[in-house]
Structure 1
Amino acid sequence: MDVELRASDDDRNRVVDELHQHTAAGRLTLDEFSDRAGAVWTARTLGDLASLTRDLPPLPRPAGNADPVGHGRRELLMVFAAAALTLLLLGGFLAVTR
């Protein structure tokens, strides 16, 4: 990483998210989080951003190729399919009993 490269808003958002996770884990107090998050928005370079998390351990990566969003979509698709099948069966039953 070239520490002199200019930071983007995505870079800043990623660091704020990381700081939030460290706060939730108890590594930072709310005051520390507030101070560092404020500094994120004034950071100009990737090096400035890196200095805000240098004393924190790396966050664990999600296991494997876990995709919680994709998993949620599959569950929603299954619920939709079950509802559609139920409606078809109910429509067939009503057609037969009339």
Structure 2
Amino acid sequence: MSMNKQGCPICGFSDLTVLDEFNCTTFEICECCGSESGLEYDQHSSAESLAKVRREWVIDNKCEWWGEKESIPENWNPKKQMELAGIEIPQ
């Protein structure tokens, strides 16, 4: 599985760099779901391990915005965000 350098692989939030130019994790924390590149996932993460973290955010945390409430994008829709990123939404 090849991971994109940009965009959170958990929630699809696009304003995040997860891998640097050497394909190493950046340890950036996603403002949307709170997942950290290098902690919850890395360039070797399996689809199953990403799905597990995603289920926790979607089901347990009900897609709650992790960062400062003032930084929530206008008209933010977490499920639409995931859909646009090509991420399957856990049920």
- Which has the larger Rg? 1
- As a proportion of its length, which structure holds more helix? 1
TM-score, normalised to structure 2, is: 0.33
TM-score, normalised to structure 1, is: 0.31
